[in-house]
Each structure stands twice: as C-alpha cells, then as structure tokens.
Chain A
C-alpha cells in the first residue's frame, strides 16, 4: 500500500464560545474505509468538532484536509459538495414529507431556467424509483413513498443515511446513532456500517458508549474538555483504559452503595394503561411496586413509555385505565398539585422544559409548587422575604452555585439548575420520588451529586422510581431493575444479580417469561 494521504485530517482545530473553549488544538486522522470512533462525555467537544466539519460552525484556528487537499468548509452545502455526510442525533427529517421528498430536498436547483426540468418534479414516480435504487443498492429496506412521520425510529435513521448516500459521500459522520435504537437495531446498523467501510467509505462515529467503541471501531480518539487525550487502535485498548481517559481519573464503574432495607410498598401501580392519539398503547397493563427505602430502576430504550409513566404518576397525563396508589391513596384523577401534596414528587426528564421557569428567579423556582400558601402567601399577597429566606436555606443545603437567589435561573449551569429542581422536590422528604433521566446533560461532578442525593433519599426511607435510558446509571443505583418495552414490563432482576447483556435483551423485547407474567405483560416474542 503506497503512502496515501488520509481521507480526512484535522490539524489543530480550536473553537471557543464565549469563555468556553469547546475545542482546543484538536488533531486527528481517518483513513479511507476506516471506522473511527470519537469518544467523550457530554460537553467534551465532540459535537462542536463535527459541526465544524459539516460547516455549521467556523473554527477559530486549524486546518481541514480531505485526501491531502486543504479545504475550507463554510456551510453544510459545501460540506455536502466535498462528500461529507452527517447523520444527526436528532433527525433532520421533515415528518410531513415522504422519504423521497426528504432525500431529494436541496439536491437540485431551486430556481433555474436553464435546468428547469430538474427544478420541477413532474414525475414523482421516477424520483421515487431513483431513491428506491439507492435504498436497494445498500440494502436499507425503506419505502420511498412512505411519510416519514409513519416510520419507526430505526427506519427514520435509515432515511438519514440514504440522504447522505444519495448525495454520494465518502465520509459519513454519525452522531450518537444508537441513542434511540434497540440492541437489535444497533447490531443491524453496525452491520450496515461495516459493509460501507468495506466498500471504501470512511466513517466517524460519535459516541459515549464504551462497548460500542469496542464493538465497531478500528481506531478511537478520546476527547476530554475540548482536548484530545488519547488515540488508540481499538484492538490495542480496552474499556477500562478508555473510560479512564474519558473521565480523567480512576473511574468507579459502580457507585458506593449500602444495602437496601426495603419496607412497605409506597407506590403501587396496577394495570396502568395509556392509549395515545393513534390508538397506540403507550402503556399497556403495566404493574409494578416500589417499596419504601428502595430504588426501582426502570431501564429501556427511550420511547417505550418512560415519559408516559412519569407523567401519569405525577398527574400531568390522565391514564386510560388502571390505578396508581401512593401511601394508600389513589392518585388517579388528582391534579398534579394534589399529587405533590400527597408526597409524590417528580424530577422531570427535561428540567428546562418541564421543571423550571427559566426567566423566573432561582427563589421563585423553589416555590413553584407552594407559592400560593403560607408562609409564601399571606392574606392573598406574596411574601418575598419568606420566599427568599426559604430559597437561601435550600441553596445552602443543596450547594446551588448562584450569586443571588434573585438571579433568573437561566443563568445557572445545567448541574445547578438540576440542583434547584432537586432541592424543591426533595426538601419535603417525599415518600415517593419519580426521577426521570435525572443526570441528562450533566457533567461528571453534577452527576455524582445527583446520585448521592438519590441514595440519601433512599436511605432516609423514600421510595424512588428511577427511569433512565443510561443503563450504567440504572445498574449502579437500583436495588431492583425492571425493563420497559413498548409500554410493558418485560422482565425484572435484582440489582446485584443484574448484568447488562441480559437487560439489553429485555430492552429489545426478549422476555424472561417467569417474571414477566407477574407484571401483567402478555406473551411476546
């Protein structure tokens, strides 16, 4: 093999956003036909780097070389012209359009007299055939005429890939592609990627999942705090070394945890069913119990009913049938306020959309569920001093970093914002806590804090329902684990005896028959 310039070479890429240095002197190389993983935690700089490569962001310094040639990429349009394609984590698909329409979007001139025929799509069928050819050639199995909104998540991702292939890429970037896939779909995806690589396509995979790096990549570059901290050939390293590089210190892959001492059932869910708009059963006869002093982890791929479960318990969503009982009272039909007062609290999966009013001061966010009663309201008027005093105590107890309780909570970092939510929800020592994706988007320090707080709550006798798509988190914290798949519980294991592979199978719908029967799920496979 002759000395060939690599398909891609990044040299000294740097980029800052305000005071934050997102990328700091990053260099890496990817050869033709290579699958290269870009590994790092949330906030390590992976997305910024790829956005630079795709022309969405301009670097402050550094060069990009494709097949030895120096290029400047100022827009996605240019990136596409240069043969770079990107499959985004949050799909860039228009749901109301068909697959074919999404694929051909912007591939022909919009307004051109010379190329009028191409601008007009008179022959829909010819276009659909064209797209169908590409789909066939790469074995991706989707119907070009289908509306994207009607496709499954895995299928939609394949449409994203077809978009890139249709334009003729030689470098394909995938951003956290498996975040929304079942293990089976992930296997299919990896098979597809390997065949692409075999035909000469270069692939960059952005991920924070160690086992995927080991499974699919040829080489891996590890980013931390915007810098490259390690480059390895995959077969010459292992998960432990990569984890250490990723985090920067010796990682305890499990967290310090005392034995659980579960008491009486504090939360009982009985045959809960939620039917959605299109008659889809989002929750299907789901039953589970959480005892006081216990953390029950609900594992599963995002989109299998987690959101509905949390919203039904906290009263925002009205279930179609079934019962939810907490502390011997039924929660069905109660308002969110009544449920919160009954001692059932909620850490929502999206703190900025559901948990906080960003424009309100920190103090007001603390009293978001209690503002209309004493001592925060007396004789019909709000009492700012009482609210501020309360806020101060919570700020201290929960270590919220803010110069003042009057500051709009939008100014706080993600971790501190989550602490505000935690403070508000935990201060009343709730008997039941529903924690949904509690560490999403948080850095390591904040994540540790949240985990400690949850364990403390458990040790004090609280019942915690932990809903998380991060399997490591579920494994680390839970005393018992159930798996949610298509709205049903498909298996249960005890925390000590759980292993990721077994749970992964259940996440994909493979049932452990015995336990499943207890949870009311039908026969499935």
Chain B
C-alpha cells in the first residue's frame, strides 16, 4: 500500500526536467573534472611535486599547440570508438568490461588482413580490415553475451576473463603464427604500405581513423535514438520485465548490445593497427578498454558525447606524457585522474538524484 505522491502537473515540472537534464549532462561532468583536478593537485603537492609546473604542462598538452592537439585527436580515436560502443551496451543494461580484449581481437584481425590483403585495391582492403576487426571484436563480446543469456553467468566477470585470454592469444600470435619473418621480436611484420591509413594533416600523426571516430558515434546515436532496435535496447536497459511484457526479446537485445559494443572496440583495434602502429605486438593498448568505460560514463552514455569526453581523455593522456617529460610526474597520473573523474561524476549524479527525488 504505497502512498501516492502526486507531483503537481504544471509546466514547471517540464522546465525542471530540462534543467535537470542539462545539469546532469553538461554541468556535472565539468564539475567532476574540476574536482578531480583539485584532488590531483593536492596529491601532487603532498608528493612534493610542483603543482603549477605540472598543470601548466597538462594544459600545454591539451591546448598548447597544434601538434599537441593533433596528438590528442590521435589518442582520442580509439577512445571515442570504444566509448560509443560501450554507450550502447550500458544503455541496454549489460556491463561490458571486456572492451580491452575485444580491442585486441579486432587489432589481430585488422593486422592479419593488413598483412595478407596488400594486393587488393585500397578501397577494398581497408574496409575489409575494419570489417574484420568489427567482426572479431563483436564475436569475442558475443561469447560473454551468450554465456549470460544461456547460462546466467555474470558478464562482469566473464568479460574480464576474456580480456586476459584475448591478450594471451595475441601474445601467442605474435610469437608464433603471425610473427615477423626474421623471428626476432615478438611482433608481426609491417602491414602493407598501401593499407596504412593516411595522415590528416602534415606533420601530425593523427590519421583518417579520426574521421571514423567522428562518424561512428553519430551512427551509434542514430541507432540508439532513431531506430526501433535502439528503442528496444533502451527499453530493456530501463526495465527488462516491462520490455518482456511488451513483447521485446530481452535476451536477444542483450546479445545484440554487447556484440555491437564489441564490434566498435574491434574496429578501434583495427584502426589503431592500420593508422598508428602499423603492425601487431603485445601491449598495444595502455588500457583503452577501461578508459573507454570512463569516456562513456562521462558522456552520460550518449555516443555523440563520447566525442567530447574521448577528446578530453586523449588530451589528458597527451598532457600527462608532457607532465612526465617536463615535470617528471609519472604518467600513471592519468589513470588517477580518470578514476577520480568517474568517482566524482557518479557521486555528483547520485547526490543530484537524491535531491531531485526528495523535492
């Protein structure tokens, strides 16, 4: 016997809604970033570092010059691609913590095509490589999705385990079947020169993959908000039981969502190989899969928002490296900042939720 709490039905309610949404999606992320930077500054100060030097290096890395901006865009590319995929998964209520492994599998697929399809015309070989990356990444994720809907296995644990397995597989490939001809280093040969993604600007490393990083989030957003598939995905994410009653196949949505998410991470892997690394080796990802989670969360799980949060984190990474170079601050600082940003963001959002509900 609940007490019916009737909210007065006025347009005031409507404007409160939009106000709350704006606050939630724009103001709070900014506040979270500032709070994280503050705590970071405190930490640096306590550790005896020169905070001013550190943060000016960080700033320089972000806004310093065109070259740094290009670097930020470069780092942002895989983050945006992964982030928009994760946004799809999270919106469906399935926790894909396995983007790291899916990235590796996509990279392996992309590298393989890159090594073997060099004779094909570019307009065929590159898309094939990207498609292969998407396929393998999607399949890798689908394993965890299948384990969840058929066997009820918690996807948080299974996707994490699959991460390590994927990394192991790549390690095996680059020391075995796909190793370079000289058999010296644990890496593959370079991919066909024709398949390397072209640079966008002279003198900078940022490559055509960045364009994909602008396009994919838009496609993902269209999928989520303008197609019946996206409608069903979001419905399941909010209320799987009501979705089931409405005739939506909940299990199918879960598998679809995580597969799409894996495909995005897989493309990111292939793009990274074709655009920057040029070959496959171990440790090609400094934790993109986990940062991708942060990217999506910061963007309130909206694919287009990941463009901005991805750029932010890309800039942070560039800045952190600059910090290490000039101010001798370990670049692991970037992980701390990422974690703090998420922590503050969810805290602020939770606080807002409580206030709003009580009012």
Contact = CB atoms under 8 A, between A and B. Distances in A.
B5 A20 contact: yes
Contact of A407 (B14, B226, B232, B247): B14
A401 B241 CA distance: 26
Given A346-B245, A355-B245, A381-B226, A441 B235 contact: no
B231 A372 contact: yes
Interface in A23-78: 42-43, 45-48
A43 B245 contact: no
Contact of A382 (B227, B247, B358): B227
Given A19-B8, A414-B4, A441-B4, A353 B242 contact: yes
A360 interface: yes
A89 interface: yes
Nearest to A176: B1
Contacts of A18: 5, 7, 358-359
A48 B244 contact: no
B239 A353 contact: yes
A411 B247 CA distance: 24
A377 B43 CA distance: 53
A364 B231 contact: yes
A408 interface: yes
Nearest to B244: A316
A221 B197 CA distance: 80
Given A357-B239, A407-B13, A42 B4 contact: yes
B19 interface: no
Given A353-B239, A356-B242, A407-B14, A337 B247 contact: yes
Contacts of A47: 1, 3
Contacts of B3: 17, 20, 22, 43, 45, 47-48
Contacts of A412: 9
Given A336-B244, A360-B238, A368-B246, A441 B2 contact: yes
A373 to B, nearest CB: 8
Given A42-B4, A382-B226, A336 B9 contact: no
A143 interface: no
Contacts of A441: 1-2, 4
B7 A382 contact: no
Interface size class of A (residues with CB under 8 A): 35 or more
B6 interface: yes
A377 B241 CA distance: 23
Interface string A75-108: 0000000000000010000000000000000000
Contact of B7 (A22, A48, A89, A411): A411
Interface residues of B, number: 34
A358 B238 contact: yes
A441 B1 CA distance: 6
Contact of B243 (A42, A357, A381, A408): A357
Nearest to B9: A401
A404 interface: yes
B357 to A, nearest CB: 10
B9 A381 contact: no
A139 interface: no
B11 interface: yes
Interface string A358-381: 111000100011011000010011
Most buried by A among B2, B244, B245: B245
Nearest to A402: B9
Nearest to B246: A368
Interface string A411-442: 11111000000000000000000000000011
Interface of B: 1-11, 13-14, 17, 225-228, 231-232, 234-235, 238-239, 241-247, 249, 358-359
Interface of A: 17-20, 22, 42-43, 45-48, 89, 175-176, 314-316, 335-338, 340, 346, 348, 353-360, 364, 368-369, 371-372, 377, 380-382, 401-404, 407-408, 411-415, 441-443
Given A43-B3, A340-B247, A354-B245, 7 more contacts: A19-B8, A336-B246, A346-B245, A359-B239, A371-B228, A414-B4, A441-B2
30 contacts: A18-B7, A18-B358, A19-B8, A43-B3, A175-B1, A176-B1, A316-B244, A335-B247, A337-B247, A338-B247, A348-B245, A353-B241, A356-B239, A356-B242, A357-B243, A360-B238, A368-B242, A371-B228, A372-B228, A377-B228, A380-B227, A381-B226, A381-B227, A382-B225, A382-B231, A403-B14, A404-B14, A408-B17, A412-B9, A442-B4
